[in-house]
Amino acid sequence: MTFLCIGHRGASGHAPENTLKAFEMAIEMQCTWIELDVYAVENELIVIHDDKLERTTDGHGDVMDASLSYLRSLDAGDGEKIPTLIEVIELVNHRACINVELKGAGTAEPVSQLLIQLCQRGWQAEEFLISSFDHPELAKTDKIFRRGALFAKKVDDYFARTTRLGAYALNLSMKITTAELVRQAHDQGLIVLVYTVNKHEDMQRLKAMGVDGIFTNFPDRFPR
């Protein structure tokens, strides 16, 4: 398997995160995968990371309390708008695979429905990975799509959880990644993807551990 360099919220070190500009830049920097975050608002899947608007937009309040029209009116940086998931997928247009992270409640079903429709129009299920820290929500996604179990903190039962999810990938914070955990994950048939890796020396260290890929804000820092 080729070592994966995944554009974390696009090339978010160079362009406003989770915007079309950031995703296009990640592809131009030769990312074969991009990662993004979704909430479901008024039957639309919108691409934004935080549950509040202040950090990444000129808006105020909670994402889930806002109307879709208000969210779409905001500046997400450099004049970019908060995109919808379908807008990102149409921009990518098979040039990279897409890791969709479920953020808000009730995202599993609409994400699955949209991706199934896309697979009926020429996309392949393997072009997507669906991940989440919310494992009960992740478990509701359609089983034709690969699942990535996200962990930010150490737990004693990684593999009981990944087994229940039928996970394909173990997505780990760099802070909790060890060579032994990587070895155990591979023994379980999982790939290991690590976030968020922005220094070349960290990538080299993780690569030596045997991780299968990294999420990075700066894809241009990592030679292919």
Nearest to 14 by CA among 222, 224, 223, 217: 217
Output the pTM of the full model.
0.98
32 touches 219 (CB < 8 A): no
Long-range Cβ pairs for the range 203-211 (8 Å, 24+) = 206/174, 206/177, 207/3, 209/177, 209/178, 209/179, 209/182, 210/179, 210/182, 210/183, 210/186, 211/177, 211/182
Q: Which fold has domain 4-38+96-221?
A: TIM Barrel (3.20.20)
pLDDT for 224: 60
Regarding beta strands 169-173 and 44-47, do their DSSP bridges make them parallel or antiparallel, or are they unpaired? unpaired
Residue of 41, 42, 31 lying closest to 7 (CA atoms): 31
Tens-level pLDDT at each residue, the chain (224 residues)? 799 999 999 999 999 999 999 999 999 999 999 999 999 999 999 999 999 999 999 999 999 999 999 999 999 999 999 999 999 999 999 999 999 999 989 999 999 999 999 999 999 999 999 999 999 999 999 999 999 999 999 999 999 999 999 999 999 999 999 999 999 999 999 999 999 999 999 999 999 999 999 999 999 998 66
For tokens 């990312």, the residue is: 31
Distance CA 190, CA 170 (A): 6
Residues known to be catalytic: 8, 49
How many angstroms from the chain centroid is the CA of residue 214?
11
Domain boundaries, the chain: 4-38+96-221
pLDDT of residue 149: 98
